[in-house]
Amino acid sequence: MRTFILFIILLLGVFPSLQAQVENRTEQPHADVPNFYLEALGFQSSDSLQARIDVYVQVPYDALRFLSTDSAFLARYEITIDILGAEGNVVLEKMWNEEVLTSTFERTQSKGGHSFTQRSMLVAPGSYLLRAQFRELESRKVSTQLKKIDVRDYAQQQFSASDIMLINRVSQEAGRAHIVPNVSGNLYNVLDGFFLFFELYNSTKADSVTLTYRIFGKGEKHSYERTEHRRLEGKKTQIIAKIDSSRYPVGSYYVEVDMQTIPTAREGVVYAVERKRGFVMRWGNTPLTIIDLTLAIRQARYIATDKEYDAMNQASTMEENQKLFQEFWRKRDPSPDTERNEYMEEYYSRVQYSNDHFSHYVEGWRTDMGMVFIVLGSPNNVDRHPFDYDSKPYEVWSYYEFNRQVVFVDETGFGDYRLLTPIWDLLHRGK
């Protein structure tokens, strides 16, 4: 009977290889920080058979190698954009080179410094995969991003809208609005509110439209809503709308715009369109996996002192909460002169790994295996005993650096491994 049960367990995969690679995982301090940011937005074109895709690329100075010239510092890179069809074939390709010149070395080290470039491409309506390759020409390093794009058939709709562009700021130049796109999707440093830009395409008899803006975050409840009426300016109307961003803590969000034509005496039909797009609120070195500051503070409990942990949890305002969280990680930053905090990035990378590999009745970071992995990292060796005849399933994690073995036992037989070895001194070594 016991042999049969073990066979069924193996057959059903109750013990999959989720934990099997824990000793092989290497540190991932920069895994979620891209070498460049990419955005691709669809707009109507003058060709009724094709739409226009505007591709925006933003390259931080951190990703570039500047060389000293006679009067400046120069960096060079190459961008290749491929539009791939359903079969993986290249439908369209565009390649260009960019040069970045700065007058001082300090400018090359600027945390907010970046190079921005944009190109437009015409493609037929349909679903595609956009592949963008960034190649730094001095170091020869290459980075690639993929983005799914759905190109709309604007010619077949009487009332439609382009994709939504995020804008950092708007200024007036020679009587025309000049916009600065936000390519990264991070709006944390946009203090006075951010802007949306989109186009409305209208071949109906309506001459005005109702626009309703909503912001959704965690829990899918909208925390912001505003409605306005706009006049339609012929067949194409460009909309720039301001959204208040002062109320949003660190996390992931999306903005939804509902657009409805206002009926006229000539036409009583209402045409409606909806567009969405995501954005994040995160300060420069916050890992992308942090989408809930309250949860991120709880997850820092393993290395926080009681005083630090209580202060962050008892903060009376969101601003104070974020300030204490930043100070907590700033004290642990191994390279305080740079924008990145490698320790924080690796810590929350371990949290994510624990959630992906150790989750059971609770989230992986809350399990004993998750706790040990987050604080101590990958073991040098794992000795697994899931089916020993005379004992309950157990694992032994060996850490050569600490000359210590950590033992976990599955008391229930359902993969709920509990810590058996006292390691209080190791868990609190960084406090």
Q: If pLDDT is split at 50, 70 and 90, which confidence band does 28 have? A: low
Q: If pLDDT is split at 50, 70 and 90, which confidence band does 165 have? A: very high
Q: What is the pLDDT of residues 300-323, one digit of tens each?
A: 999 999 999 999 998 888 778 888
Percent of residues, the chain, with pLDDT higher than 90: 58
Q: Are 352 and 292 in contact (CB under 8 A)?
A: no
Residue 208 Cα distances to 115, 163, 164, 310, angstroms = 38, 20, 19, 53
Highest mean pLDDT among 171-185, 215-229, 386-400: 386-400
Q: If pLDDT is split at 50, 70 and 90, which confidence band does 430 have? A: low
All structural domains of the chain: 16-29+287-427 (no CATH), 35-44+58-146 (2.60.40)
Looking at per-residue pLDDT, the higher value among 198 and 243 belongs to: 198
Q: Are 308 and 298 in contact (CB under 8 A)?
A: no
Mean pLDDT of 74-93: 95
Q: Identity (one letter) of the amino acid at 91?
A: V
Looking at residue 8, its pLDDT comes to 37
Q: What is the pLDDT of residues 325-345, one digit of tens each?
A: 989 999 999 888 777 788 998
Mean pLDDT of 117-137: 96
Q: Provide the token pair at 103.
A: 């007058």
User: Residue 417 pLDDT > 60, yes or no?
Assistant: yes
Mean pLDDT of 74-87: 95
